[in-house]
Amino acid sequence: MTSPFGLEGKTALVTGGNQGLGKAFALGLAQAGARVAISGRRAEANRAAAAQAAEAGFDYVTITADITDDGQVSAMTEQALQAFDGRIDILVNNAGTCYHAPAFDVTDDEWAGVFDLNVRALWKTSLAVGAGMRQRGAGSIVNIGSMSGLIVNRPQWQLAYNASKAAVHHLTKSLAVEWAPYGIRVNAVAPGYVKTEMAPVDRPEFRRHWIEDCPQQRFALPEEIAPSVVFLASDAASFITGSILVADGGYTAV
């Protein structure tokens, strides 16, 4: 009997799949049986992530792309489609960025840079990949939001990031409703504090707010968040769309 959690025969594209959470998501999808393509701005980082995956027995397609550029979004999508015989079943919109600064110190360029990658690039990638999903009448998009779209992080201020992730959550719901008739499911995962290159969650000065305020009294590792992405991508979540799955150790529950 085939498990609904399995992704055998499926293809997946993960943006920002060469480090941190994205790398864990790509590996989780591959472990579940999917053929995986990762994209990122840095070709060297893409190759390094693919080499690590190869050591575990998985063969990635690597695509170098800056998805804040519409032309490169189109080229990335076409390259993935060519590698996967014209079909992308799963899109994980993971690429993102963050600036840490008090509100009065945030520059226009920093604000625009966060929204350009975290929201606009996600939107344009969803359109590019979603077009093929609509044509086939099936597909699953998993956006990576954040509990920062639900709470205000402290003591490290990051207004643009928080606002961008709130936008991702509502964009997720909006697309889910509009695209449900096309057989496309759109959901999001909202991680809490996870130790990655972008998040220094183990620094002592943050322990009071980031660890002690969390009911589980700890941060997560990327591989703990990956199964939530795999679940939403799989047929086990066939009746789930427009949902924001919060994986935060209980942080937003109190």
Enumerate the active-site residues: 161
Whether 72 contacts 66, CB under 8 Å: yes
Phi-psi region of 179 (alpha: psi -120 to 50; beta: other; left: phi over 0): alpha
Neighbours of 118 (CB within 10 A): 26
3-state secondary structure at position 86? coil
Q: Is the peptide bond before 102 cis (omega within 30 degrees of 0)?
A: no
Neighbours of 167 (CB within 10 A): 18
| Pick from 167, 166, 159: nearest CA to 101 | 159
Evaluated on CA atoms 177, 37, 20, 228, the torsion sign reads positive
- Token representation of residue 25: 């998501």
| Pick from 251, 253, 189: nearest CA to 219 | 251
Whether 110 contacts 153, CB under 8 Å: no
Q: How far is CA 118 from CA 98, 110, 155, 236, in A?
A: 9, 12, 22, 27
Q: How many residues does the chain have?
A: 254
